[in-house]
Structure 1
Amino acid sequence: MNTFRTDTTFAGRIPELYDRLLVPMIFASYASDIATRVAARNPSRVLETAAGTGVVTRAMSRMLPSHVEIVATDLNQAMLDRAAANDAGRPINWQQANALQLPFDDASFDIVVCQFGAMFFPDKAAAFAEARRVLRSGGALLFNVWDRIEENEFAHTITEALRRLFPVDPPLFMERTPHGYFDAQVISHDLASAGFDATPSIATVTARSRAATAHLVAVAYCQGTPLRNEIESRPFVTLDDATDASATAIEARFGTGLVDGKIQAHVIAVAR
């Protein structure tokens, strides 16, 4: 199986479930955090890559003055369509684009921002080099990545449940991709390889993830991410079976009713 293809395909029901369930569960608090960091730099033109369904775009729209231009891009048109359907409160330039081949002029943005997208880039250094190319002198690249899966309790619990359900060939999307790019030395090396001379700042930010039920957590992860693609490619076990097994594992660890788990990420900033 081509894991890159399945790991980067956000289509079908994934954008809707991702936006409705995962965004408030794990992405919203980090979106506010990174948008605050962007606003502190007083940019006039901002490029967002891997914008997904626009949670960071909307946060920046609220925090940045109305004269600041926001260009939001993503590889998956279906995710951008979902993002554009949400009210951002101001005009946004939504544009389908590959972060490894940005269709923008050199030195045309003050900030490039990317929330939880770098992990999906097949060539991180190449993507960072593209970000550097479109940044003006004195600009900055700001992005965040999830920490190791063991520091993110819902993702880890579900991955272990699926490992038991699929003992021969477990679907390891969460461990492999969203939580597979957390090493500070590796990230720093990739940025240096991309041409960034400055030492990046790397801050670890811990937060809480909450949902009304364990079942909602299981649906969010198993059906609202590309983990769905991997599960559906396996024989004998259905998507509903995998979702139910994941819900049972979440409930066993976090209880019935409202569930609350730790999430942790690294926020990286590097100057051009």
Structure 2
Amino acid sequence: MSAPTITFNGTIPQQYDDYLGPFLFEPYALDLADRIDYAPVTNVLELACGTGRLTNLLLERLPSSAQLTATDLNPDMMAVARKRTLAPNVTWAVVDISAIPYEDNQFDLIASQFGFMFVPDKLKALTEIHRVLAPGGKLIFNTWGAIQDNTAWAIVNKVLHAFLGGNPVPQHLGPFSMADAQVVLQALTEAGFHHVNATSVKKTGLAETAAIAAQGFIQGLPFATAIQEKDPSLLPKIQAAVEQEFSAQLGNHPLRTPLHALVFEASK
């Protein structure tokens, strides 16, 4: 099976935000936002802002004089994010994390939620981030921990293998490609960062129903594009199978699933 490009476009971003946002991403956006010391911050860069859940929380907490540049590689994701806020101190830009189009030493805080895992050359991206971060500036981001600690993800992976013979998303670019904290800490050090640390954060994902969670996973992620390209008739079948497994293993009305992420912090 050929590996698809990892893109969040078309109907995927709105499904991602509506069905996965409250379930998977809002709890960890709150966790990241609450870890930041906003008092000294004047110029912030958010990378891979997605549909803007962390963006909104940053804007609520930043001093009114601070400026936030929110960026993503996928314009359709940012289109959803831009509907969330009319804040005057945010600008939006399409940015590739591996080639950041800003001057050296420009930002005193760089933040990102669940975005770095999809970057092909992670060390190059971290080196670029180090370049645009001001001396003394802080970097904070999160990634998913091991898939076996994220039961809903593991169920989806098993169903995809059953229907497709494998996961259509290449694993070196997948959600769990930065699940080894020691590897990420070493990359941060190689990129020039200091005071690097990782924190394990476990939460419980809560979805109103198994059907809502299944729709989010299958139609709100790049799985949808890969399945459509292979055989569109498989999409409802895979979604129904995921819903059935979710209901059997995680419950329904509501669905509860363990979640595990890693938070990385570093300084320049």
**Cα RMSD for the two superposed structures:** 1.9
Contact 1:149 1:175 (C-alpha < 8 Å) held by counterparts: no
Contact 1:159 1:174 (C-alpha < 8 Å) held by counterparts: no
Equivalence for 1:223: 219
**Residues 16 and 173 of structure 1, relative CA distance in 2, 3 Å threshold:** farther
SS in 2 for 1:16: helix
Contact 2:195 2:266 (C-alpha < 8 Å) held by counterparts: yes
* Aligned-partner Cα distance in 1 for 2:199–2:50: 23
Give the 5 Å matches for 1:106-117: 106-117=104-115
**Residues 27 and 213 of structure 1, relative CA distance in 2, 3 Å threshold:** same
Number of aligned pairs? 268
Shift of residue 186, structure 1, vs aligned partner: 1.0
Give the 5 Å matches for 1:221-260: 221-235=217-231, 237-260=233-256
SS in 1 for 2:36: helix
SS in 2 for 1:215: helix
**Residues 94 and 243 of structure 1, relative CA distance in 2, 3 Å threshold:** same
Shift of residue 161, structure 1, vs aligned partner: 2.0
* Aligned-partner Cα distance in 1 for 2:93–2:239: 33
Contact 2:185 2:197 (C-alpha < 8 Å) held by counterparts: no
Equivalence for 1:95: 93
Shift of residue 203, structure 1, vs aligned partner: 0.4
* Aligned-partner Cα distance in 2 for 1:185–1:17: 33
Establish whether residue 188 from structure 1 lines up as the match of residue 185 from structure 2.
Answer: yes
Contact 1:62 1:89 (C-alpha < 8 Å) held by counterparts: no
* Aligned-partner Cα distance in 2 for 1:223–1:258: 20
TM-score, normalised to structure 2, is 0.94
* Aligned-partner Cα distance in 1 for 2:245–2:150: 15
Shift of residue 90, structure 1, vs aligned partner: 4.4
* Aligned-partner Cα distance in 1 for 2:9–2:82: 15
**Residues 72 and 157 of structure 1, relative CA distance in 2, 3 Å threshold:** same
Specify every segment of 5 or more residues in structure 1 that has no aligned partner in the other structure, as ranges: none
Shift of residue 3, structure 1, vs aligned partner: 2.8
* Aligned-partner Cα distance in 2 for 1:117–1:88: 23
Establish whether residue 177 from structure 1 lines up as the match of residue 174 from structure 2.
Answer: yes
Establish whether residue 3 from structure 1 lines up as the match of residue 3 from structure 2.
Answer: yes
Give the 5 Å matches for 1:1-272: 3=3, 5=5, 8-40=6-38, 42-87=40-85, 89-166=87-164, 168-171=165-168, 177-196=174-193, 198-235=194-231, 237-272=233-268
Contact 1:113 1:141 (C-alpha < 8 Å) held by counterparts: yes
Percent identity of paired positions between Structure 1 and Structure 2: 32
TM-score, normalised to structure 1, is 0.92
**Residues 146 and 170 of structure 1, relative CA distance in 2, 3 Å threshold:** closer
Encode CA deviations 1:200-243: one digit per residue, 9 max, x unaligned: 11001111111111111111011001121222233485211110
The letter of the residue matching 1:180 is S
Specify every segment of 5 or more residues in structure 2 that has no aligned partner in the other structure, as ranges: none
* Aligned-partner Cα distance in 2 for 1:57–1:255: 31
Encode CA deviations 1:123-166: one digit per residue, 9 max, x unaligned: 11111111100111100111100001111111111211222233
**Residues 213 and 86 of structure 1, relative CA distance in 2, 3 Å threshold:** same
SS in 1 for 2:7: coil
* Aligned-partner Cα distance in 2 for 1:173–1:61: 34
